[in-house]
Chains A and B, each alone.
Chain A
């Protein structure tokens, strides 16, 4: 979230885009309903009418996988009708930047596409610059090469009729939503967009988020109270795991992942540090060397930071998604791994194309599962259709303790690091993840010491001083993540001693004299103590006006509660909306939230994390294009793409040998997957909780009355869903909450199935995981699978017979 949960109450119009927030993020509705009580309008755009739609003022149905058509049309609507917030757009976005002559878009492809590598030469999308490398601009926004005019031309195809025809959303609904949301493009109106996996789990997932971010920038909705781009995190520590780099493309604090082509530390820093000559741009990533050096010292305090870099694993010079989830399972499926740690994961239920994952695990020599309970993955060797005798994989199960049995921090969606103390002791032989990983690591280190091995330095030298009384101590790690001075230094006349905690990331040094495990967490555990454990409601009147509690927990970065807040004030530091000011310049200092940099008003541009300091309506950094473009999902009811001759995202991650259902009469129905509030993740915990299981006991398929009539299915009967990859049998919920779409003049039926139910949870139950149906295709930037849309057949199950 750019903003935070409480801040939802400040909004005038809330657009929940493809998320079932009421169901999957119940706490969000504490604040959504407060906003509604103030008179706010709640809009829900989703293929299904859900518990969220039930509370919405406007519900607008959309065919899965057509969000960019809807957003592109809204962008056109905003531009055609001059509904954008002009001062904000000119001053704080790159709308005025001149795009270079090499940029082009033709037949669904941007310039620079190489069909052999299925990738773009992104240099073709550069801006025109002056002799210092600063982008040229036309603040009148009239130059045909400026970003705003490029957008106008790009989205000219996204007219109302096309939007209605492709998305299946009725015209009146399209206009009602567009007009309601676009009305927030005024200084005194705030609109927020909430989203979750419904936007991400697509082969255009990143561009979905880009599109909604562009709309927020056009309307001046970023950096203000009640605004922002708000990713709802389903698991309370998804934010934390992202921050701490449980992803293939970065190191903690969003530092770039080392690559083999950057053989030494200096090459890494040079490649990762953006350069600008624009004096107004803060270009915060110019500090990368301080954060990188401090990270090396956090891992290897006794080594020189440049030497430490050479010890880190580096990825090959290839697409980063080749290291992502789908690629790992493809490699495993092809026998590319001997062993695997399946740590707190359930790929045989929660992973896309779960049937493939089950086969892949059988190719391993060994597998270690670390989890609270046995699940479909730890037991894959005796799952449906598997003969244990045929499986060679040796499986080890390490029982892990649960979050409430451990001290530690949880980062919520609003980036609050909240310290929690354990409420119970470990059960039986279970251990915390920290204890398990340190014990495993020390055993490996012993083997290296005893037997030697290739490239031993990273193992032999890693610092693991996180134990207290022989057990893992989360406080010790939290202190290391905050950062520590390794030498006595003087910063701005203040003396710091070696061993003291750094006060924040501004104190981190590039010379190896500080250690910090995650620069964005710096400030969370200082000499004042554990700032994450704070539970103080003290606030100033300015903070009280917008529900901001700066003394409650710690928000990264720098305890800033609303990001990009300098975009919420004009060049004189005056809030665009004085009634809901996030920050304001009182003539001497900033009041309210922690500003995005303490410079005086007008001194620096607000979007400090991007090289040129302005919000990127045109974003040349993504691998699949500088502007979001609609491509059909890999599996679709349409043979082509009504917007261009290019059917699917040409750069998406997919495996060509795997069949896809495209306007395939065998698989005529669109299917989407989702969660229910009563079950958690793949259900390993909640399916064992009797009270939750009682409420939501079985896998089900929601379908329209129209489709049910066509199939001869009655409510509550068993149905079989089949895709190219597998089949599952579940209960049919026949409901008016799902309606057929009219797409390109034809009736398109959509069904949906939650993925949190699995085999073996109930005696005599016939169902299995919904992910047996979903495909191994993913977004080209992140590799996230397209589990939100694929094609299936649905038929009535034969009585007493499975499948």
Chain B
């Protein structure tokens, strides 16, 4: 699929208030289980993504230029244009992870229960896939593919009260993301769109991506992050050979 086709999210983090409507809406639409959590000294809960938490708002207290910032990161699968998790899965069980033709959504099927969890998780440059212990399936955001095919917005986008979450055709999303970035850069010159040429979830970061989460952008490719001969980022940017 051409990289300008299909669907894309634009997540304008300058507007996110961490109300977590998206996190709750995701679980509500997909009827995902809730855990008996405890407060660990943070608003962030559950503490991490898990087999039944596909959208997680991360809270980080950071100091930027001597000023306290509380940054919020509504984390989810990026639906990579060329998904390394799929490439890795294809090497073992073709069809376990598929890419939807019309939208570009990366979808995990029933066959993922036969994949090696750690191999797939480590293939992901953003550390997204998790295993649901109750079913053995590998899980993550599926772009609300059922809703999208029915002409509806993903649940997280639909519920967002602040225009943080946007969803639509990729060219349109790229256009509004770039326009918004130019606006934000007037006030915050360091602002950027994280990995916008590689993924279908365009995160607008007002401060350096590392302040949101160490997996906000794909790993730069240190030795420890290498998977076989390639860095994760190199794997992400790899294009399948096309002939004719």
The residues of A with any CB-CB pair to B shorter than 8 Å are 22-23, 26-27, 29-30, 33-34, 37, 49, 51-55, 59, 676-678, 690-698, 700, 714-717, 731-737, 762
Contact = CB atoms under 8 A, between A and B. Distances in A.
Interface string B10-49: 0000110111110110011000011111111111011000
Given A695-B24, A696-B45, A700-B39, A51 B70 contact: yes
B70 A677 contact: no
Contacts of B24: 678, 691-692, 695
Residue among B17, B43, B61 having the largest count of chain A Cβ atoms under 10 Å: B17
Contacts of A55: 15, 17
A695 B36 contact: no
Given A26-B162, A27-B161, A733-B42, A695 B20 contact: yes
A692 to B, nearest CB: 7
Nearest to B70: A54
B117 interface: no
A693 B17 contact: no
Given A694-B35, A698-B38, A33 B70 contact: no
Residue among A52, A53, A694 having the largest count of chain B Cβ atoms under 10 Å: A694
A55 B19 CA distance: 12
A731 B41 contact: yes
A691 B34 contact: yes
B45 A731 contact: no
Interface in B35-76: 35-43, 45-46, 61, 63, 68-72
A719 to B, nearest CB: 11
24 contacts: A26-B19, A29-B161, A30-B161, A33-B162, A49-B68, A51-B70, A52-B17, A53-B70, A54-B69, A54-B71, A677-B20, A694-B35, A695-B24, A695-B43, A696-B39, A697-B36, A697-B45, A716-B39, A716-B42, A733-B39, A733-B42, A735-B61, A737-B68, A737-B70
A498 B30 CA distance: 55
A695 B34 CA distance: 9
B90 interface: no
Contacts of A52: 17
Contacts of B18: 51, 54
Given A698-B39, A731-B41, A29 B68 contact: no
Contact of B15 (A29, A49, A690, A692): A29
Contacts of A731: 38-41
Contacts of A22: 17, 19
Contacts of B61: 735-737
Q: State the majority secondary structure of interface residues on B.
A: loop
B38 to A, nearest CB: 6
Contacts of B39: 696-698, 700, 716, 731, 733
B38 A733 contact: no
A26 B34 contact: no
B183 interface: yes
Contacts of B38: 697-698, 731
A697 B43 CA distance: 10
Contacts of B28: 691
Nearest to A32: B162
Please give me the 3 A-B residue pairs with the lowest Cβ-Cβ distance, nearest first.
Answer: A716-B41, A715-B41, A690-B34
Given A694-B34, A697-B36, 16 more contacts: A29-B161, A30-B162, A52-B17, A55-B15, A690-B33, A691-B23, A694-B35, A695-B20, A697-B39, A715-B41, A716-B41, A731-B41, A733-B39, A734-B41, A737-B61, A737-B70
A716 B40 contact: yes
Contacts of A51: 17-19, 70, 72
Contacts of B68: 49, 59, 736-737
Contacts of B45: 694-697
Contacts of B69: 54
A695 B58 CA distance: 11
Contacts of A693: 34, 37
B71 to A, nearest CB: 7
A604 B236 CA distance: 70
Nearest to A690: B34
Contacts of B163: 30, 33-34
Nearest to B26: A691
Contacts of A692: 24
Contact of A54 (B23, B34, B40, B72): B72
A151 to B, nearest CB: 36
Contacts of A762: 36
B20 A29 contact: no
Given A29-B162, A692-B24, A54 B42 contact: no
A30 B164 CA distance: 9
A159 B114 CA distance: 72
B104 to A, nearest CB: 28
A54 B70 CA distance: 5
A49 B18 CA distance: 14
B221 to A, nearest CB: 32
B105 to A, nearest CB: 23
B36 A23 contact: no
A168 B69 CA distance: 21
Contact of A26 (B36, B70, B161): B161
A23 B34 CA distance: 22
B162 A677 contact: no
Interface string B111-130: 00000000000000000000
